Amino acid sequence: MISRSEVVRLDRAHLWHPYTPADTWETTDPIVVVRAKGSYLFDANGSRYLDGNSSWWVAALGHGHPRLLAAMQAQASELAHCALAGITHEPAVLLAQDLLRTAPAGLSRVFYTDDGSTAIDLAVKMSVQSFKNRGMPKKVRFVALEGAFHGDTVGATSLGGVDVFRKPYAGVLFDCVRADFPEGSYARAFEIISDIIERDRDSIAAVVVESLVQGSAGMRFYDPAYLRELRALTERAGVLLIVDEVFAGYGRTGTMWACEQAGITPDLMCIGKAMSALIPMGATLATEAVFDTFRGSKDRALWYGHTFCGNPIGAALARELLAIYKDERILEQVERKANVIAKAFARIAEIHGVRGTRHLGMIGAADLGGSDGYFGGLGWRVYEEARRRGAYLRPLGDTVYVCPPLNIEDADLEMLLSIFEESVRAAAP
């Protein structure tokens, strides 16, 4: 094992970090994680941090759940990897069955991908080819919301509506029609998207939305009724509806899938993040009607796939995770903890300098004002304050939030929320 300072030295010499300006990074003393357990990350220097964002929205069951580790080990020693082209295996088919049992009624096919971004890219390709196969080759455009985030591949970035993440790639991104975010009472936003769809239905393949919450845009929520009306609208217009549950899924918003709160079934549903808990995995779930458009001659097939598609270890983990959700009544836990989060954020709203707070399920967010958007510095001040107090809270510009593991211990949740509150108090302008 190398020393903590050696890790930092080699990091600065060789690593290139996600979403990190190089010059800022060189002057910060990073958390150097050596171990994680439950809701805690342990630094090589002996400090521990509450994992306030489930390690980038992934660890819904915290770290080191013994059943997940056992499932991973058992599967690894039986069959760790094989392709899913011209071959099949038990973990892949059983996971598909389990997923479809929890998914909105009407979704009946599972295509495995490597992560959330590739699940979105796949949904894009499925939509376009589905219409080509139906003799409607002009339907190749997409509608997505302002502030959307659907991942970082070129396809997913094309759908994204956060300027900072798009700008550098202008010129290589495909055309995407941008619709207003349905803030608050959404009537006006709905009118606008209705007009777009009515006008361009012959060229639009699909509408893509994050389900109820835009995570990366700053934990922005919208009314489930908007999603319900959007479903009816797209169905009437012969446009597919792609719902991105990569962040919102797996109970994060209070229900297993956020779109359940709208009572809808999308044509395509993309999942990832919490899905397999420990290793990268994603999937696009489709209706039989979409699947059927790929039947027939060979050129109508979906010529698409990823090397690790349906990886047996990932599949075994994802199945075990669903079993744990049931056995440990994770969604009931969420219902109870969501109330605790709601109360805390009502209190946080009163802090001087806080512009507003909101909460949904296991998510609580506070806006600290500032006009620098994603480059704002206030969120990072909260990060520093929280780090001193023993919590890891990565901000979204001037928005700070918690989205802890769904099974976080009650005492740890109380601690996280009070660290959050104190840190906001200390950092607020």
Ligand X SMILES: *Cc1c(COP(=O)(O)O)cnc(C)c1O
Where along the sequence are the contacts to ligand X (CB under 6 A)? 115-117, 120, 149-151, 210, 215, 244, 246-247, 272-273
Residue 58 CB, nearest approach to ligand X (Å) = 8
Residue number closest to ligand X, CB atom: 116
Q: CA angle 132-136-140, nearest 5°? A: 70
Sequence letter at residue 307: T
Nearer to ligand X (CB atom), residue 155 or residue 215:
215
Nearer to ligand X (CB atom), residue 272 or residue 397:
272
Q: Token pair for residue 80?
A: 């760790």
Nearer to ligand X (CB atom), residue 215 or residue 364:
215
Nearer to ligand X (CB atom), residue 117 or residue 423:
117
Residue 248 CB, nearest approach to ligand X (Å) = 7
Residue 254 CB, nearest approach to ligand X (Å) = 17
Residue 205 CB, nearest approach to ligand X (Å) = 18
Tell me how far apart the terminal alpha carbons of the chain are, to the nearest angstrom: 42
3-state per-residue secondary structure call for 329-391 = CHHHHHHHHHHHHHHHHHHHCCCCCCCEEEEECCEEEEECCCCCHHHCCHHHHHHHHHHHHCE
Q: Please enumerate, as own/partner, the contacts of 98-104 that have beta carbons within 8 Å and a separation of 24 or more.
A: 98/319, 98/322, 99/271, 99/283, 99/285, 99/318, 99/322, 100/285, 102/256, 102/257, 102/322, 103/257, 103/269, 103/285, 104/257, 104/259, 104/260, 104/264, 104/265, 104/266, 104/269
Nearer to ligand X (CB atom), residue 19 or residue 202:
19
Q: Mark residue 176 as left, alpha or beta (left: phi above 0; alpha: psi -120 to 50; beta: remaining).
A: beta
Nearer to ligand X (CB atom), residue 52 or residue 215:
215
Residue 217 CB, nearest approach to ligand X (Å) = 10
Sequence letter at residue 426: A
Residue 414 CB, nearest approach to ligand X (Å) = 27
**Burial degree of 159 (CB within 10 A; 0-12, 13-18, 19+):** buried
Where would I find the beta strands (DSSP E) of 114-219? Answer: 141-145, 176-179, 204-210, 213-214
Residue 269 CB, nearest approach to ligand X (Å) = 12
Nearer to ligand X (CB atom), residue 60 or residue 424:
60
Residue 384 CB, nearest approach to ligand X (Å) = 25
Residue 119 CB, nearest approach to ligand X (Å) = 7
CA distance 324 to 172: 42
Nearer to ligand X (CB atom), residue 155 or residue 272:
272
CA distance 256 to 275: 11
CA distance 396 to 398: 6
Nearer to ligand X (CB atom), residue 116 or residue 361:
116
CA distance 311 to 305: 12
User: At 356, phi and psi to the nearest 5?
Assistant: 180, 155
